[in-house]
Structure 1
Amino acid sequence: MPDLTLDLRFLRYAIVTAEYGSFRRAALVLGVPQSTVSRRVQLLEHRLGARLFERHHGGIRLTAGGEHFLKEAAAMARGVERAADEMAAARKGEAGSLKIGLFTSISSGFLSELLAEFRVKYPAIKLILDEDTAEANIAGAISGRLDLAFVSGDPRAPNCNSKTFWQERIYVVMSSDHGAA
């Protein structure tokens, strides 16, 4: 079995060489000496145990195996690049997911508007809402199951920060015919 501990730069050099059909043109695009590109492609071929390119005086041509390998490898390289971009966006808070605990009775009004504004401002962040009791949501925030929780009342949450976001008036409504009215 070939040694698959590949350096991604070696793979990139081979992909660019195939795209441009020349070690010299690949070196110009990559901004490195032609000998570096040629040597790294040779090392990649050695690790794979097969030639990617046929070399001749007029230039290079992909072998059938090289064409198949680089087609698959280029797709993988794009996947790695996409994953790195997504990780960078998540690190900057521009993508990813946010797990939010909330109590059904407070999920409308101000909180609904706040979440709608958040979705508009950060469309790449998926909001995952978990409806439960205040106690369960606090426990979820403490354990890390939730990123944050909206709770009513005066939360007693050790090792957590809490902040009052809004205050609502609460009304009691009953029939005027009720005995307690």
Structure 2
Amino acid sequence: MTPAPSPGTRTLLVYFSRPGENYWYGGRRDLEVGNTEVLATMITERVELDTYRIEAADPYPHDYEETRARNVREQDQDARPAIASPLPDVTEYDTVILASPIWNVRPPMIMSTFVESVSLEGKRVLPVTTHAMSGLGRSVAVYTELAVGATIGQGLAVQGEEVADAGPDLERWLREVALV
């Protein structure tokens, strides 16, 4: 069993989420709030932490197929999409939760932009994903490669269609990673 966090430890939840037309059990469904944002909100209701929402400087399209095509181009080009707002100072945090969807078996490339733009050295990084069928995908490998000197901890993967019912799994994970 992992011990509870020591007094004075601080956690930052960094998340990227895309509302709009999303994959939904093989079809499409329009979401006012993206699945990852729903999960991020659930985390903030259970854990005292700070949050930073990643917003793309060039917002992703509402249309699922257009977003999918853009993502494939970004992955093929190993792109680093720009982030719209100033990045947070992560120096005071011991743990950084990186929450995102899984697109084409990996976190969106904008997550790579974030990870490469801040120093996560010496920090515990916890991957959290929403997905259609890929689980954590390659998030652990991606963050291990990009977050030099960080310790990549146990991740949590929630199927997007099931995010509203993820409370028990989320609470179990939060206990396992000693955030509650």
TM-score calculated relative to the size of structure 2 = 0.29
Bigger proportion of residues as strand: 2
Compute the TM-score of the two structures, normalised by the length of structure 1: 0.29
Which structure has the higher relative contact order (CA within 8 Å, separation 6+)? 2
